[in-house]
Structure 1
Amino acid sequence: MFKSKILSSVLVAPLFAGVLASDDAAAKGNNHQGPDFRFALVGDVPYAAGDVAKFDAVIDDINEAGVKFVAHVGDIKGGSDRCSDELITERFEQYEQFDAPFVYTPGDNEWTDCHREAAGQYNPIERLDFVRNLFFPHPGKTTGGKRMRVRTQAQHPAYREYVENVLFVRKRVVFSTIHIVGSNNGLRPWSGIGEDPENPIAERLEEVAEREAASIAWLRRTFREAHRRHAKGVLLFIHANPRFELPQGDPNRAGFDAFLAELVDLTVAFDRPVVVAHGDSHYFRIDKPLMAPTVDGPMRRLADVTRVETFGSADVHWVEVTVDPRTDNVFHFEPRIVDSNKFERP
């Protein structure tokens, strides 16, 4: 099933070409002047009730900064908060206060982990359907104060449900959201609704397998577009910390092995800067964690891959990303600390 879906994505590449060709032209009409631009990166916020007002302050700060778009890398609530329609809708409505286009990739807290007793013991697949319908009401366009046209994987007949996987091009840089979540990318059992690890629920296994196949197909699609455009760089938005530090085959990295292996091959062939932007572990950092084999055998760091992880609850701040294709690194990161959200000290 994996091979047939991935192959079909390869065969329809010409279907996408004409649509994305006009993205940079559309950007010029959306105040994208000059060779560089900035966007905001957030994730894992808001969680507890106390985060809501703090995140309002983040929204105000980002709106004042005048960024071109806002990217949220998932987890819109705490893992122990109920996955109710009301709470998820409240979060969506708060994000709609951004002036700029709002780009979002789901996290595990809003669907994968909703089987937990504290989260309400929901069926995660039903919660994913709700999130998709709410956050992606017009596939091919973002939400937010301004709408931005994007290419969605749902336009491919084999991947109609994956409205959340989107791709867009700005200033010869390719941006892509890929639905990869925590809880080992969904491999952890739905214990809250009675799943026994010895007798896994078929519905969960099927969802993980199909989403992984879609993710790999979309990752390949992203790099094909980058080659076609002679892009200066690629930036991938995912939710999960994919456990770069663990060796391939480690059970705690099993849900990310296929993605990371494909990322290595595609980055080596691309030979230009690639950024993986994610959340999940609530720790702001910028590093180069991806290891890859070399011709003489040992594993070495893949210099072209940079990881940026945004802040997460209880640190309610944001990261400003400047994209400048004239520079060697293309991507430049600055933590933006919201003064009112700092913790009081004794």
Structure 2
Amino acid sequence: MNFKFKQIGLLCVLFYIVISCLDTKNKNANQQNISPVVFSAIGDVPYGDVKRTELIDYIKEHNAKSRSEFIIHLGDIKPGNIPCNEYLYKDVDSILRNFKTPTFIILGDNEFNDCEDPDEAFHLWKKYFLHFNENWSFDYTVSYQKERIENFSWIENKVLFIGINLVGSLVHDKNEWEQRLTDDGNFIQELLVKEKNRIEAVVVFAHANILIDEESSKFKIFTDIFLPAAKNFNKPVLFLHGDGHVWLLDKPWSYEHNITRVQVEAGAIPLQITVDTSLEYPFIFSKSF
């Protein structure tokens, strides 16, 4: 009798092992069947007539050649040293609408925080660019933060994309600044907790280089929320921003091994990013269409 029970027990163990292996195999197969997400990123453009022409040419070439499913503009649609006149917002709006690809845009400090009247500048930005992506048909549902309607997110092929209002430069109103950073951090944290089991990677779109030594302390409220949230998520995170004008690719928070930071070059310079969740490191960067 004991021998029969041992046989049954052994069969149960073998059955469990087989089922577990099949389940793992199916998960891996399903992961491999998920298509990579390909998108383009630009920032800090156009600055003046020459860069305006370059942006128009870039859009024509992007429309003709790019495989990207969407494009993100990482802020700064004008130089910081010229007035924030409405015609500039209207002009860039009319240029970006020529993309055939759904286009998202986040705030830069030059068209908001550096303006003589930031409140009026933010009003103009919202008039021309709030939910700019809704000018195109997009296959995925884009959600917006209740507390800060310029912040957005969506999930595509197990990748969570998050855009936030994170600008640098002047602190006009300490309370407003701290509340905005808190809202940004909470938005990311809540999404990472809520969607952790549905996603395999995250891309955060921001404008500011929050790692400049003389600036970093101003962003502590944000990083105190963002970094622990990314650590607890424990899957690959890409923090993609403009602001600094030169190409950077590093892991500046070395103690948070899962966060990659990329700063894009200023101007209408091709940058195609692929997020392939079947790879251990899912982010691939190409400076071409």
TM range (shorter): 0.7 to 0.9
- 2:40 is matched with 40
Aligned partner letter, 2:174: L
Aligned partner letter, 2:288: R
- 1:330 is matched with 282
- 1:171 is matched with 157
Q: After TM superposition, which residue ranges in structure 1, 4 or more long, deviate above 6 angstroms? A: none
- Distance, in Å, in 1 between the alignment partners of 2:274 and 2:135 is 20
Aligned partner letter, 1:310: V
- Distance, in Å, in 2 between the alignment partners of 1:225 and 1:56 is 39
- 2:16 is matched with none
Asked whether the 8 Å contact 2:250–2:260 carries over to 1, the reply is yes
- Distance, in Å, in 1 between the alignment partners of 2:178 and 2:223 is 16
**TM-score, normalised via structure 2 length:** 0.82
Taking structure 1 as reference, are residues 133 and 225 closer, same or farther at Cα in structure 2, changes over 3 Å only? farther
Aligned partner letter, 2:264: T
Q: Point out where structure 2 has 5 or more consecutive residues left out of the alignment.
A: 1-32
Does residue 142 of the first structure (1) align with residue 142 of the second (2)?
A: no
Query: Residue 224 of structure 1: which of 171, 177, 193 is its match?
Result: 193
Aligned partner letter, 1:303: H
Asked whether the 8 Å contact 1:177–1:238 carries over to 2, the reply is yes
Deviating more after overlay: 233-242 vs 49-58: 49-58
Secondary structure in 2 matching 1:275: strand
Taking structure 1 as reference, are residues 168 and 67 closer, same or farther at Cα in structure 2, changes over 3 Å only? same
- 1:255 is matched with 218
- 2:11 is matched with none
**TM-score, normalised via structure 1 length:** 0.69
Aligned partner letter, 1:150: V
- Distance, in Å, in 1 between the alignment partners of 2:44 and 2:136 is 21
Does residue 151 of the first structure (1) align with residue 143 of the second (2)?
A: yes
Taking structure 1 as reference, are residues 232 and 307 closer, same or farther at Cα in structure 2, changes over 3 Å only? same
Aligned partner letter, 1:37: V
- Distance, in Å, in 2 between the alignment partners of 1:58 and 1:149 is 27
Aligned partner letter, 1:50: V
The alignment of Structure 1 onto Structure 2 pairs a total of residues equal to 255
1:333 Cα deviation from its structure 2 partner: 0.8
Secondary structure in 2 matching 1:254: helix
- Distance, in Å, in 2 between the alignment partners of 1:275 and 1:322 is 11
Deviating more after overlay: 78-87 vs 60-69: 60-69
Does residue 309 of the first structure (1) align with residue 272 of the second (2)?
A: no
- 1:101 is matched with 102
- 1:284 is matched with 247
Aligned partner letter, 2:51: D
Aligned partner letter, 1:327: L
- Distance, in Å, in 2 between the alignment partners of 1:280 and 1:144 is 26
- Distance, in Å, in 2 between the alignment partners of 1:217 and 1:143 is 24
* RMSD of aligned residue pairs (Cα, Å): 1.9
- Distance, in Å, in 2 between the alignment partners of 1:308 and 1:182 is 16
Identity %: 26
- Distance, in Å, in 1 between the alignment partners of 2:34 and 2:189 is 29
Deviating more after overlay: 127-136 vs 273-282: 127-136
Aligned partner letter, 1:234: V
- Distance, in Å, in 1 between the alignment partners of 2:137 and 2:263 is 25
- Distance, in Å, in 2 between the alignment partners of 1:225 and 1:49 is 45
- Higher-Rg structure is 2
1:34 Cα deviation from its structure 2 partner: 5.8
